[in-house]
């Protein structure tokens, strides 16, 4: 296997990175060339993503890669799901993409269910009901008379919009389409009837591509700006969780995964979606994965609570590093009770610590006495929520779940991993922290002919990363 170099662009809801990966026979090594913030833009009471700023940061990362003087085989982009950009007839973007944190979808699902009943929507898509799903964003945009939507000739999900800016080629990548709640999970195409009920023509969505398909090459302009030349852009699992799950270093299929970041996503990997009375009642989602697999999972609010607390504390002049947080939570006493991380009160508060205190008062719980107690309450609550969701997964899984693989940034959180192992009653295998970028790179490497099956990808990743196992402790 000849050594090859790939670029992974990994964008989250709060930050992004451009990574240069070197893939050899025995292992993959990654270097972050460029790291940057991703901030919501709020204007006129509406929340947007500054896609042009993201594009500029990506171009800067590609420019840094070119300076290394190594031949880059391809580029892949992954982002969060559901959000979309509208492309006008002249090929330019019609405004900034709306952000899923915008409250404009409040009450929209209930309005839509008067046209197509809730149960039928689930049976047609297998997707967990969340206010901000793409289906309801389109309904909300149409309801408010969005000029961008009115003049759209194409609708692109976020990773596809960024690859469009780089290549000029418009595609609709399967895994990110699967988050929309308007994809038929059997045909893997947009459901024209659901979209029509939202007032949207399905032809606005371009051709669907699967992870591993080539999208195009960098435009002459981008090739010149960056100095990379006409490098191909490959569709990876455009939804970041799809890329992350591809990088789970599992030895067999009897595992659950927890992709831990701003959001926590817990689920299992299956060859086909599971859409029945149980998954409907439990509100589980069936998202697309690499090789057409289904990711039966639950979205859980994750480190969003802690991130927003840190933002609020920083405004007060209290800057807590990751090391500070670990030290303070280890020293704090276990919480007497827990909060629900998914409570509506925590979706987009202006002051998260105040929202947590108010939630405790409203539910008869003791308010955290200080910042350390607030951090510990968040960790204890997340562990309890993970145990609750895992118990439901056990009811749905066609196999015994033997361990929980924690991937993403949360894999570094030793206290939370210990609490989770104890709450769930099974071993927690933590790592890799860079799962999303690794999955992104390995799909590109497979397109280049360097690895074969998904099992081979995971075997290669086991050789490339170190993991740590946490066993349940006595309560």
Helix, strand or coil, per DSSP, at residue 315: helix
pLDDT of residue 348: 84
**425/330 same-domain check:** yes
Same domain, 230 and 279: no
Residue in 229, 259, 210, 96 with CA at minimum distance from that of residue 447: 210
Instruction: Based on the fold, state whether residues 12 and 74 are members of the same structural domain.
Output: yes
Q: What pLDDT is stored for residue 187 in this prediction?
A: 96
- 254: in domain: yes
| Same domain (yes/no): 141, 52 | yes
Based on C-alpha coordinates, what's the Rg of the chain? Answer: 22
Last residue of a domain, one of 416, 431, 446: 431
Structural domain count of the chain? 2
**Residue 449 backbone phi and psi in degrees, to 5:** 85, 15
Q: For residue 14, what pLDDT is reported?
A: 87
Q: Quick one: pLDDT at residue 122?
A: 98
- Of 1, 3, 83, the C-alpha closest to 49 is 83
**Structural domain harbouring 281:** 250-431
Same domain, 30 and 66: yes
- Please tell me the distance from the alpha carbon of residue 152 to that of residue 135, in angstroms, as a whole number: 16
Q: Does 475 reside within a domain?
A: no
CA distance to 183, 295, 461, per residue, from 186 (Å): 9, 14, 30
Q: The domain spanning residue 390 has which CATH number?
A: 3.30.420.40
Position 463 in a domain: no
Residues 33 and 67 in one domain: yes
- Which H, E and C letters describe 198-241, residue by residue? CCCCHHHCCCEECCCCEEEECCHHHHHHHCCCCCEEECCCCEHH
pLDDT at site 475: 62
Residue 444 within any structural domain of the chain:
no
Task: Please indicate, yes or no, whether residues 255 and 224 belong to a single structural domain of this protein.
Answer: no
Same domain? For 170 and 121 the reply is yes
pLDDT, tens digit only, all 475 positions of the chain: 689 999 999 999 889 999 999 999 889 999 999 999 999 999 999 999 999 999 999 999 999 999 999 999 999 999 999 999 999 999 999 999 999 999 999 999 999 999 999 999 999 999 999 999 999 999 999 999 999 999 999 999 999 999 999 999 999 999 999 999 999 999 999 999 999 999 999 999 999 999 999 999 999 999 999 999 999 999 999 999 999 999 999 999 999 999 998 889 999 999 999 999 999 999 999 999 999 999 999 999 999 999 999 999 999 999 999 999 999 999 999 999 999 999 999 988 999 999 999 999 999 999 999 999 999 999 999 999 999 999 999 999 999 999 999 999 899 999 999 999 999 999 999 999 999 999 999 999 999 999 999 999 999 999 999 999 999 997 6
Q: Which residues pair with 296 in a beta bridge?
A: 268, 286
**Residue 464 falls within a domain, yes or no?**
no
Residues that are catalytic: 240
* 216 lies in the same domain as 88: yes
Residue 24: closest CA among 11, 6, 41: 6
Domain membership flag for residue 411: yes
């Amino acid at each position: 296997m000849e050594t090859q170099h790939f670029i992974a662009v990994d964008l989250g809801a709060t930050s992004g990175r451009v990574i240069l990966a070197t893939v050899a026979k025995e292992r993959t090594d990654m270097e972050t060339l460029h790291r940057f913030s991703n901030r919501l833009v709020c204007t006129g009471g509406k929340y947007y993503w500054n896609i042009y700023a993201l594009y500029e940061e990506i171009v800067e990362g590609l420019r840094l890669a070119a300076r290394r003087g190594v031949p880059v085989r391809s580029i892949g982009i992954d982002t969060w799901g559901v959000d979309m950009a509208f492309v006008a007839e002249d090929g330019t973007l019609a405004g900034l993409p709306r952000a899923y944190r915008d409250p404009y979808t409040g009450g929209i699902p209930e309005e839509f269910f008067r046209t197509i009943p809730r149960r039928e929507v689930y049976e047609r898509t297998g997707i967990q009901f969340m206010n901000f799903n793409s289906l309801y964003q389109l309904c909300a945009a149409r309801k408010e008379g969005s000029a961008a939507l009115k003049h759209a000739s194409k609708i692109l999900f976020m990773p596809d919009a960024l690859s469009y800016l780089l290549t000029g080629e418009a595609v609709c990548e399967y895994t990110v389409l699967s988050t929309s709640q308007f994809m038929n999970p059997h045909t893997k195409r947009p459901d024209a009837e659901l979209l029509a009920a939202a007032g949207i023509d399905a032809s606005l969505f371009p051709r669907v591509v699967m992870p591993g398909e080539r999208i195009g090459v960098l435009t002459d302009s981008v090739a010149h700006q960056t100095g990379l030349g006409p490098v191909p852009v490959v569709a990876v699992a455009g939804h970041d969780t799809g890329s992350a799950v591809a990088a789970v270093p599992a030895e067999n299929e009897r595992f659950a995964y927890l992709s831990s970041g701003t959001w926590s996503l817990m689920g299992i990997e299956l060859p086909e979606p599971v859409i029945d009375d149980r998954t409907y009642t439990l509100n589980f989602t069936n998202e697309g994965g690499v090789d057409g697999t289904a990711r039966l999972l639950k979205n859980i609010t994750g480190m969003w609570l802690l991130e927003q607390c840190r933002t609020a504390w920083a405004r007060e002049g209290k800057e807590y590093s990751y090391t500070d947080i670990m030290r303070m939570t280890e020293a704090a006493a276990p919480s007497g009770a827990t909060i629900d991380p998914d409570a509506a009160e925590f979706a987009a508060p202006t002051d998260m610590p105040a929202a947590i205190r108010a939630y405790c008062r409203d539910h008869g719980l003791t308010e955290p006495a200080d910042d350390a107690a607030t951090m510990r309450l968040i960790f204890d609550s997340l562990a309890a929520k993970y145990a609750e969701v895992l118990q439901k997964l056990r009811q749905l899984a066609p196999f015994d779940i033997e361990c929980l693989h924690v991937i993403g940034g949360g894999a570094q959180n030793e206290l939370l991993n210990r609490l989770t192992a104890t709450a769930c009653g099974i071993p927690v295998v933590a790592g890799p922290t860079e799962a999303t970028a690794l999955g992104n790179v390995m799909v590109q490497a497979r397109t280049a002919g360097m690895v074969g099956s998904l099992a081979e990808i995971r075997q290669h990743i086991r050789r490339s990363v170190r993991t740590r196992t946490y066993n349940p402790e006595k309560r």
